Chain A
């Protein structure tokens, strides 16, 4: 081997280091042995051994979403790659920057149905932002550098690089990252139309019933975007609501914040959306969980949509003004313009709008009655929030009722502190995701708010948590049901609870003990706070089995196929049968 040459695997690791990778989540196998060999010698990258490749991607997602960096994954060929697919799809739906390196059989065996061969680029094509099969070792370094650029620029997303074993072993001349990589697509124009900004600013200032609706794009755009959005809200003194993905980008304590909107959003947020005259959507994508029935979505409003992805604009909702670009850049221009015009006193009074909103608030749509000794799940989250709000707390969740209760009752005052699977709705996301978060922030309080059914989906990661001594708190709202499935069966299928009971649950306390970590259990409201205190005070990982009211439903709710103004606030409200159209919806 000549001096300047290293092998492909070493070049890959070197390129990762050059791109700022400090942590990689992975699982070894035959087709990635050279890469693992290169990692063995490397002191700059910490490898976290997960227990399933899906968890590797979720962990990388948790890492990426809490830090704003690119998450990195390493899996082997065949089953390693196919196991990662759910995670990659999740990252694509929620716009999380991920690099997934997968091993592949050597190039001369591709297409022969070799052992642990899969058409990984074929399988992952629709669930990645882009992918590569490296067939030419000379292009290896360039491809890795470019992958990072693609994953993190524009609308972020997962990029998979499939690395045949012979490429990992071949001699490669290392190529440094060039400062400016070719624009990989012209969708993200850097020019912002100042005219448009000024039109939108005027529209916002002249609105009588404006509302701002922010989403995950604000979080992805970095902490400054969140600050600018909050500033805009304060200057305009207008109501603001956030999507599930956007929680935290305006502090929950801001007086203008109406809570989350959408299917399980607050009454005031949804009614304000329905009745607004001007809507500003910043970095959200009019997801069906948010809009409800489209032909009745904010019917009398002018809509402005800011998004980095041009294809998000006019995809499901036609808007009057679409601005393509990065949230923080556009918000900064918009704030400037609004400030400028604001001084000229063109702003309309919003007293009537606010008094209307306050009437909706008086409905207290998140109200619940904690009676008797059984723990209401809502109370469990509320108490958890009260006990942890003074810490630097990161919350991850699984998917289902507990996720919605967490979104409703836990207050988020900063972006990047809330990791949940929004678009894909992946049960089993929270536990591995919390691994990624805790690795990024070893000293912070990381809590996985979980349901017993979701927890079972990736509970093998307890082993990872123990191996790396991650003091993650697993807060299981245990109602022995796949609660959201049960709720829909109650509402739409005549309470025929087909297969939604979580039978044969483990004893979670013993399960914890079997891994050598602490297990707590509480079933009485009088002991709830003490249990939460104990959980927080334990230095290591904890599984807290919170036995909650079994048949509690998640409200308020926009029934499927209904509009924002057709919310139901409790089970008693559900007098109208779900429409035939609604029954077909998910």
Chain B
């Protein structure tokens, strides 16, 4: 990005969810992350896992923030990366589902243990581990739901949080099968 003031109208920055299909090989993730740090773009969340063993493909779900001009730039820059095959802007495409998984450890004794379990039940969190002084809860859902849960747990005791970041997919019957076949 040039140090010259950008020729943008004061447009608001919005959050966008991008879904990428990339080659599952060493260096691909480094390229994607390097693009964001090198060009000064934001990453709010990023997840990556293999989705196709035969074709050796991974999906990167990525939440970023910027003006529409910046987002267009991010998408074009991503497509310049050789092992990046598909870049979809889920926010722009239409309705989509965003989901995340959190593991929350809470160290708690006494009356707050009951409160913790009650909140967990309300949020439909699963209890994965129990000791006399701690719990580990597992919760999936929208990031805002996870935020709320974590916030409540923190007020009950010492916590340790592990979150996966957002995984996203579009609603409806549209799939990427045709796009994948062209790779």
Contacts and interface: CB of A to CB of B under 8 A. Distances in A.
A309 interface: yes
Contacts of B77: 311
Contact of A297 (B3, B7, B26, B34): B7
Contacts of A310: 76, 79
B131 interface: no
Interface in B1-57: 2-8, 26-27, 30-31, 34, 38
B64 to A, nearest CB: 15
Contacts of B132: none
B14 to A, nearest CB: 17
23 contacts: A130-B82, A183-B182, A185-B79, A185-B80, A185-B82, A186-B79, A186-B85, A186-B182, A288-B2, A291-B4, A294-B5, A295-B5, A309-B76, A310-B79, A311-B76, A311-B77, A311-B79, A316-B6, A561-B4, A581-B5, A584-B3, A585-B4, A586-B3
Interface in A297-334: 297, 309-311, 313-318
A122 B26 contact: no
B84 interface: yes
A518 to B, nearest CB: 44
Interface in A278-297: 288, 291, 293-295, 297
A311 B39 CA distance: 12
Contacts of A291: 4
Interface centre among B82, B182, B183 (most CB of A within 10 A): B82
A294 B6 contact: yes
B72 interface: yes
Contacts of A182: 183
A314 B82 contact: no
Contacts of A584: 3
A129 B31 CA distance: 11
A83 interface: no
Given A309-B76, A586-B3, 12 more contacts: A125-B27, A129-B82, A185-B79, A185-B81, A186-B79, A186-B182, A294-B7, A314-B72, A314-B73, A316-B2, A316-B4, A317-B7
A122 B34 CA distance: 10
B69 to A, nearest CB: 6
Interface in A530-586: 561, 581, 584-586
Contacts of B182: 183, 186
Contacts of B80: 129, 155, 185, 187, 309, 311
A315 B31 CA distance: 20
Contacts of B183: 182
Nearest to A292: B4
A182 B80 CA distance: 15
A383 interface: no
Contacts of A309: 76, 80
Interface of B: 2-8, 26-27, 30-31, 34, 38, 69, 72-73, 76-77, 79-82, 84-85, 182-183
Given A130-B82, A293-B5, A294-B5, A315 B73 contact: yes
Interface in A128-170: 129-131, 133, 150, 155
A407 B114 CA distance: 79
A314 B4 contact: no
Nearest to A184: B82
Interface centre among A125, A155, A183, A291 (most CB of B within 10 A): A125
Given A122-B30, A125-B31, A187-B76, A295 B82 contact: no
Given A130-B82, A310-B79, A314-B69, A125 B3 contact: no
Given A133-B26, A187-B80, A314-B72, A125 B7 contact: no
Interface residues of A, number: 36
A121 B76 CA distance: 23
A126 interface: yes
A187 B31 CA distance: 17
B54 to A, nearest CB: 16
Contacts of B7: 294-295, 297, 316-318
A125 B37 CA distance: 13
A441 to B, nearest CB: 32
A186 B80 CA distance: 9
A7 to B, nearest CB: 24
B73 A311 contact: yes
A126 B39 CA distance: 11
A288 B7 CA distance: 12
A562 to B, nearest CB: 11
A35 to B, nearest CB: 23
A519 B182 CA distance: 60
Nearest to A187: B79
A189 B64 CA distance: 26
Contacts of B4: 288, 291, 293-294, 316, 561, 585
Contacts of B3: 288, 584-586
The 7 closest A-B pairs by CB, nearest first: A311-B76, A294-B7, A130-B82, A288-B2, A310-B76, A187-B79, A311-B77
Contacts of B30: 122, 125
Contacts of B73: 311, 314-315
Nearest to A561: B4
A318 B82 contact: no
Contacts of B79: 185-187, 310-311
Contacts of A126: 34, 38
A185 B84 contact: yes
B34 A125 contact: yes
Contacts of B8: 318
B5 A185 contact: no
Contacts of B27: 121, 125, 131, 133
A185 B6 CA distance: 28
Nearest to B26: A133
A294 B162 CA distance: 44
Given A125-B31, A314-B69, A318-B69, A150 B82 contact: yes
Contacts of A315: 73
